[in-house]
Structure 1
Amino acid sequence: MSRSKEFDETEVLDKAMQLFWEQGYEKTSMTDLVKHMGIHRRSLYDTFGDKHTLFLMALDRYDNKISDALSRGVNRSRNAKEALQSVINIMICGEENSPTGCLMVNSAVELAVRDAAVNEKSICAFLKVEQLLKDIILWGQKEGEFTSEYDAEELAEYLHNVGVGLRSMLRTSIPIEKLQRIANMSMRILET
């Protein structure tokens, strides 16, 4: 007779995600995970597999959470400028009580060159954000909020690159005001 799980999988996956986000993949040991997740080692292996599989699941969880947050922000916006500002705010400010930076960006920098699965997940996540930015830019171009001098896809790629840079810089002691200035400059490039 099998025992039922005595923990919520989503809750403990969120805890693993937070730890990987704070420490990175390489610095996070199985002992760290067991302690932080509050489950037994055997339960971790039985439920999530090995460390790498758990990490990939944490990346998927993070991607879904960020995608949901971005969608909510865009859907609440009255115009394209407001939608873009919402995306930028999420990139810079993140969620309350979350580590700084972006788990996907951090993981891509740490592992993508030598881990095909992380590389693939990073690229997919980055392409989703670029598509969202492109849709916002097209909306703004259609409504006359943003310049039509440049191609929306190229602008989206540019803004995503700025976003990756901002999320990387968040891991440093650079003042948030500087990051806001960079974001504001990027917004002005789009203005008509």
Structure 2
Amino acid sequence: MARPREFETDRALERAMGLFWDLGYEEASLARLLKTMKITRGSFYKAFKDKHAVYLSTLERYDKQEVGATVAFLGNPENGSGRERILNLFNKIAQVAENDGDRLGCFLCNAMADKAAQGGEIEQRLQAMTLRLETAFRNALQDSYGSGLSQAPDNWTEETARGLLALYFGMRVLGRAGLAARMARDCVSQAEQLIDTAVTANAGQDPAKG
């Protein structure tokens, strides 16, 4: 009969993610990682092999929990039209920023700025997470304006989705820097203008009817 592990993997990974989130990959030494995860060196190597494997596991965890929740929100018709879903998402981020500054920011944003993101499996994982978000924005746009996109260029939704993604990441970075509370509402306004101006120009549809 197999012996139970001396720790709970989920809790250990949650603690590890918090450390990587706060310090980054390079600064999170193995000694500090073991202390934060509250496991022995032997248990660590049996379960995770090395720090790189733990980092990938924390990215996968964030992808399933946070990125997955955002993608699900943008794709759920019960949350309104595609336009409404997008703007509600930005408003939620703005609200967090206004309430507590959103100092935690976004783990994906932090990871993309980390040296560990330069090549290899980590870079591939980050690109896949980013593409999931971009696709969610694009699908929400098409849900809202599908009937009016026949006259628009083929790359309209792709360009607009990427602009929204850049705004989304920008708001999360500003939050970590303590600036989002002052700028959040302007970012929401820019998101709204980005959607409505492009649709009006390219499809001739009234955004308010989306």
Aligned mates of 1:15, 1:113 — CA distance in 2? 20
The aligned residue for residue 123 of structure 2 is 119
Q: Which moved more, 1:68-77 or 1:31-40?
A: 68-77
Which of the residues 149, 157, 161 maps onto 1:152? 157
The aligned residue for residue 35 of structure 1 is 35
Q: CA deviation at 1:89?
A: 4.7
Give the alignment's TM-score, normalised by structure 1: 0.84
Superposition pairs for residues 80-159 of structure 1, below 5 Å?
80-89=82-91, 93=96, 100-111=104-115, 114-142=118-146, 151-159=156-164
Q: Which moved more, 1:129-138 or 1:182-191?
A: 182-191
Equivalent AA in structure 1 for residue 105 of structure 2: G
Aligned mates of 2:88, 2:70 — CA distance in 1? 8
**Counterpart of 1:170 in 2: which secondary structure?**
helix
1:119/1:85 CA distance change after superposition, 3 Å: same
Runs of 4+ in 1 over 6 A off after TM superposition: none
Query: 1:18 and 2:22 equivalent?
Result: no
Count of matched residue positions in the alignment of Structure 1 and Structure 2 = 188
Cα deviation per residue 1:5-26 (whole Å; 9 max; x = unaligned)? 1322112111111111111111
Q: CA deviation at 1:72?
A: 4.1
1:89/1:125 CA distance change after superposition, 3 Å: farther
Contact preservation (8 Å) 1:70, 1:90: no
Aligned mates of 1:86, 1:13 — CA distance in 2? 30
Listed as ranges, the gaps of 5+ residues in structure 2 are: 197-206
Equivalent AA in structure 2 for residue 26 of structure 1: E
**Counterpart of 1:63 in 2: which secondary structure?**
helix
- Is the radius of gyration larger for structure 1 or structure 2? 2
The aligned residue for residue 200 of structure 2 is none
**Counterpart of 1:27 in 2: which secondary structure?**
coil
Q: RCO greater where, 1 or 2, for CA within 8 Å and sep 6 or more?
A: 2
Contact preservation (8 Å) 1:105, 1:167: yes
Give the alignment's TM-score, normalised by structure 2: 0.78
Equivalent AA in structure 2 for residue 12 of structure 1: A
Give the share of equivalent positions with the same residue, in percent. 26
Query: 1:161 and 2:166 equivalent?
Result: yes
RMSD: 2.7
